[in-house]
Amino acid sequence: MATALCPGSFDPVTNGHLDIIERTARHFDDVIVAVIRNPQKTGSLFTLEERQELLHECVKHLSNVRIEFFKGLLVEFAKEHGASSIVKGLRAVSDFDYELQMAQMNQRLSGIDTFFISTSPQYSFLSSSLVKEVARFGGDVSTMVPPVVAERLQGRFVQEA
Ligand code: PNS
90 lines ligand 1 (CB under 6 A): no
Which atom in ligand 1 lies closest to the alpha carbon of residue 40?
A: 11
Of ligand 1's listed atoms, the one at least distance from the Cα of 105 is: 22
For the CA of 9, the closest atom of ligand 1 is 1
Would residue 91 show up in a list of annotated catalytic residues for this protein? yes
CATH of the domain at 47: 3.40.50.620
Let me know if residue 132 belongs to a domain: no
- pLDDT-derived band at 141, boundaries 50, 70, 90: very high
* Kind and range of the H or E run holding 3: strand 3-8
Residue 161 lies in a domain: no
Indicate whether 136 belongs to any domain.
no
Dump pLDDT digits (tens) for 72-95.
999 999 999 999 999 999 999 989
Catalytic annotation present for 41: yes
Helices (H), the chain: 15-27, 48-59, 74-80, 93-110, 128-136, 147-160
**Is 17 one of the catalytic residues?**
yes
**Which DSSP category does 12 fall into?**
T
Confidence band of 143 (pLDDT split at 50, 70, 90): very high
In a domain, 50, yes or no: yes
Largest pairwise CA distance in the chain = 49
User: Tens digits of per-residue pLDDT, 25-59?
Assistant: 999 999 999 999 976 777 899 999 999 999 999 99
When divided into structural domains, the chain yields a total of 1
- Is residue 25 domain-resident? yes
> Comparing C-alpha atoms, which of 70, 46, 47 is closest to residue 145?
46
Contact 30, 1 (CB under 8 A): yes
Which entry of 27, 37, 41, 108 is annotated as an active-site residue? 41
What domain range includes position 66? 3-125
Local structure of residue 100 (DSSP, 8 states): H
Does 151 fall in a domain?
no
Residues 4-29 have a mean pLDDT of 98
CA-proximal residue: ligand 1, atom 5 (nearest):
8
Q: What is the mean pLDDT of the chain?
A: 95
Q: What is the pTM of this model?
A: 0.95
In a domain, 156, yes or no: no
106 in a domain, yes or no?
yes
